[in-house]
Amino acid sequence: MKFGILVNEGPFQHQASDSAYLFTKAALEKGHEIYRVFFYYDGVNNANKLSEPQADDRDLVKLWSALAEEHKVDLVVCVAAALRRGIKDDILAPGFRISGLGQLIESGIVADRQITFGD
């Protein structure tokens, strides 16, 4: 099955980001395809390479980057939501790219299922 993933929450204020990452990782391990992960609203904070979680906390930014590198997952950050939060190309973590809402629409069309994490 081909999945599109939408992440609407940041890595530190809500469980949705963790759930999205764990779902994506599990789907890939089971042989499913992830067409795209689209980060919207506060979800764009998952792409901020300047975030520094405590040493004993998980680092979702690095986890997403590693997943993208290992499995060639397309990680797209909404340009409008990113700019509102001060996120530009120069602070994107590896594996993320900025684009528009058209990428989310395309994901919903191409994927067999579009799954949303967060409000």
Q: Can you read off the two tokens belonging to residue 92?
A: 């994107």
Interaxial angle between packed helices 16-29 and 60-71, expressed in degrees from 0 to 180 and rounded to the nearest 10: 20
Contacts of 106 (CB under 8 A, 6+ apart): 36
The catalytic residue among 78, 82, 92, 98 is: 78
Q: Examine the residue annotation and report whether 78 is marked as an active-site residue of this protein.
A: yes
Burial classification of residue 116, based on how many CB atoms lie within 10 Å of its CB (0-12 exposed, 13-18 middle, 19 or more buried): middle
CB contact at 8 A, 47 and 87: yes
- Catalytic residue numbers read 78
